[in-house]
């Protein structure tokens, strides 16, 4: 098995990584959103709730 960050052989102590450095790099990607899955959703505040027409928005 090879390290997912650098493709070197893994070490039992850091498995599935080869070193603490590669493990920390992977953690950094998780914490900064580097592994986020892109979506096509819009922000909730930009969408109009069901049953609420644009005319109703103008009246309120």
Asked whether residue 26 is assigned to any structural domain, the reply reads yes
- In 3D, which of 4, 24, 21, 1 has the Cα closest to residue 12? 1
Asked whether residue 6 is assigned to any structural domain, the reply reads yes
Number of structural domains (the chain) is 1
Give the mean pLDDT of the chain. Answer: 83
pLDDT 10s digits, 15-43? 999 999 999 999 999 999 898 888 887 66
Task: Give dist(CA 14, CA 4) in Å, integer.
Answer: 12
Answer yes or no: are the C-beta atoms of 45 and 33 closer than 8 Å: no
| Cα distances (Å, whole numbers) of residue 19 to 12, 15, 23, 37, 52 | 10, 8, 6, 26, 55
Asked whether residue 38 is assigned to any structural domain, the reply reads no
**At residue 44, does pLDDT exceed 90?**
no
User: Domain range for residue 29?
Assistant: 1-33
């Amino acid at each position: 098995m090879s390290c997912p960050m650098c493709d070197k052989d893994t070490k039992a102590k850091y498995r599935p990584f080869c070193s603490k450095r590669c493990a920390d790099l992977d953690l950094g990607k998780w914490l900064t959103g580097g592994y986020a899955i892109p979506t096509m959703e819009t922000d909730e505040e930009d969408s109009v709730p069901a049953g609420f027409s644009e005319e109703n928005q103008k009246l309120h």
